[in-house]
Amino acid sequence: MNTRSVSLYGLTAVLAFSFGAFSLWLYEKAAAFDASGNQVTLKNKTMERKSNTLRDLTDAVLTGNLRDVNPTAERLKQYSLMIDGFLETDIYDRHGASYWKALEQLKAAAAADDWEAAKDATLAVERSCLECHQLLLPSQP
């Protein structure tokens, strides 16, 4: 056995040990992450942003600040389009139409400075969200 063979065996042993230690560390980290229940996904984060934007939209209508409705409705639309990409279910497809219609009615009412129509359209947007979530979420006891 020459010096080069000994060096290769030593290097192989060190690499194998390092790989094993890294794999064990990674496994422990993954198990801790899974146990923590603190997984934040793009879907959850986008839905949270959509929910916050819906609250902003409702606040704008409640305060009669209709000039803020269109930009906020546009943000809501963008988050909805993001969610559309990974919520491709027939429930979402069937019930999404009422959401999109109400959102367009809200934008039109705000553009016309019609507070009554904006109020009704805001309620329709919120109702469509509630109805869809009720169907998508697992049954509650």
Is 48 within a domain?
yes
Q: Is residue 18 part of a domain?
A: yes
In a domain, 60, yes or no: yes
Say whether both 92 and 74 belong to one domain. yes
Are 55 and 19 spatial neighbours (Cβ–Cβ below 8 Å)?
no
Same domain, yes or no: 107 and 60:
yes
The verdict on 27 and 52 lying in the same domain is no
Q: How far apart are CA 79 and CA 73, in angstroms?
A: 10
pTM over 0.75: no
Q: Which residue has better confidence, 141 or 93? A: 93
Alpha carbons 31 and 38: distance in angstroms, whole number: 12
Question: Are 62 and 5 part of one and the same domain?
Answer: no
C-beta separation of 125 from 54 below 8 A: yes
Domain count of the chain? Answer: 2
Would 77 be classed as within a structural domain?
Answer: yes
In the predicted model, what is the mean pLDDT of residues 103-115? 94
Provide the pLDDT confidence category of residue 101 given band limits of 50, 70 and 90. Answer: very high
CATH number at residue 103: 1.20.120
Range of the domain at 6: 1-38
48, pLDDT greater than 90: no
Query: Considering the domain boundaries, does residue 25 fall inside one?
Result: yes
The pLDDT of residue 6 is 64
My answer on whether 111 and 81 are in the same domain is: yes
Percent share of the chain, pLDDT over 90:
34
Q: Which of these, 48, 62, 68, 51, lies nearest to 110 by C-alpha position?
A: 68
pLDDT over 90 at 138, yes or no: no
Domain membership of residue 141 (yes or no) is no
